[in-house]
Structure 1
Amino acid sequence: MSTLGRPASALGRLVRRLGHRRWFAAFTPLLVPADRLVARLTRGRVVALGLIPSLLITTTGRRSGQPRTNPLLYVRDGDGYVVIGSNWGRAEHPAWALNLLAEPSATVTVAGTRVPVRAHLVDGAERDRLWQLLVAEWPAYQTYVRRAGGRDIRIFRLAPTLPGQR
């Protein structure tokens, strides 16, 4: 069962089990360009082939100032969305997370609906609580922490905002 209340498909359950494998973490990011294409063609209604709860996040490039869109696994937390900068357990932070630190206003597309959000880097008890939600959805995050070699894997809560609100 997905933490979003939807039953996970057999393929979705298999993907969750494979998520711990090093080869899976090395291979899957190579599919991101195809995933972005499918998401663009479906106007954000299909992300990650619908296997895991995923959204598209559009941040502002911290160097370029240009919009940057990435598919991410997410969990719901009340009216917000929770995402994690695991970067498949690599030693470096993902660019989208660095972009959010520089400019916390972003947009997410969930099931084809665009939602303006403001990112909040969580810590303390809130981080612990949200970590549990994330691991329930994608158990491989525990493996990614070990693989990241001590890097602090950032967790962001994305709160919906009114259009134009900063």
Structure 2
Amino acid sequence: MARTGHTPRPGAAGRGRLLGLVQRISASRAFARVAPYVVPAVDRTVHRLTRGRVLPAAALLPGVVLTATGARSGLPRRTPLACMPEAGGTWVLVGSNFGRPGEPAWTGNLLRHPDAEISWRGRDIPVRARLLEGAEREAVWAEVLRFWPPYGTYQARVERRIRIFRLTPRDVPVR
């Protein structure tokens, strides 16, 4: 799998320092307490107001807005999420829940209803989600940690194994 991690542009030393600072802050327990309430609300609002063209959190990490069917309600649920784009037009989503103990609701929704949709760079794309397991999960987890090191801190904080999903456009065969 080709690595598509978020790295500073050449000559962007200031951006690299900012990224390091953001990673340290995002790995903190204080961030884990506040972010789940603030980040998605801001992302949803700005994404809606800009008709899908802007996702504020994507200034640091690539992001999508996932629309999945609720596992219990059967209703559409929109969730802004960081993602790791992969070469070949797939995306990886990490169910870290900012290092909090419970599984994020969107992971249960995808387990129950793997057909979903993402808004990616202003385009709506029908996708199918697949939970990664075994050696495939471990290989992707290593890429995820290179992509955004705070995920390692999140995993160390929780007893559950963080779920990782690969999203594939529905018009492309699943790997």
TM-score normalised according to structure 1 size? 0.88
Aligned to 2:34: 27
Gaps of 5+ in 1: none
Aligned to 1:157: 166
Q: Residues 81 and 159 of structure 1 are in contact (CA less than 8 Å); yes or no, is this contact kept in structure 2?
A: yes
Q: Residues 90 and 167 of structure 2 are in contact (CA less than 8 Å); yes or no, is this contact kept in structure 1?
A: yes
Q: Does 1:127 align with 2:137?
A: yes
Aligned to 1:45: 53
AA paired with 1:20? A
Q: Does 1:139 align with 2:149?
A: yes
Identity across aligned pairs (percent)? Answer: 44
Q: Residues 75 and 133 of structure 1 are in contact (CA less than 8 Å); yes or no, is this contact kept in structure 2?
A: no
Secondary structure at 2:103's aligned position in 1? coil
CA apart distance, 1:64:
1.2
AA paired with 1:43? R
Q: Does 1:108 align with 2:118?
A: yes
Runs of 4+ in 1 over 3 A off after TM superposition: 4-13
Gaps of 5+ in 2: none
C-alpha distance in 2 between matches for 1:99 and 1:68: 9
Aligned to 2:104: 94
Secondary structure at 2:73's aligned position in 1? coil
Q: Residues 96 and 155 of structure 2 are in contact (CA less than 8 Å); yes or no, is this contact kept in structure 1?
A: yes
C-alpha distance in 1 between matches for 2:131 and 2:58: 28
AA paired with 1:44? G
Secondary structure at 1:16's aligned position in 2? helix
Q: Residues 64 and 81 of structure 2 are in contact (CA less than 8 Å); yes or no, is this contact kept in structure 1?
A: yes
AA paired with 2:35? T
Q: Residues 80 and 159 of structure 1 are in contact (CA less than 8 Å); yes or no, is this contact kept in structure 2?
A: yes
AA paired with 2:125? V
CA apart distance, 1:146:
1.4
Bigger mean CA deviation after superposition, 50-59 or 11-20: 11-20
CA apart distance, 1:53:
1.1
* CA distances 1:82-109 after superposition (whole Å, capped 9, x unpaired): 0011111111100000000000000011
RMSD: 2.0
- Paired residues in the alignment total 161
CA apart distance, 1:6:
6.4
Indicate which of 76, 101, 105 corresponds to 2:85.
76
Aligned to 1:3: 5
- Change in Cα spacing, 1:132 to 1:63, as seen in structure 2 (3 Å) is same
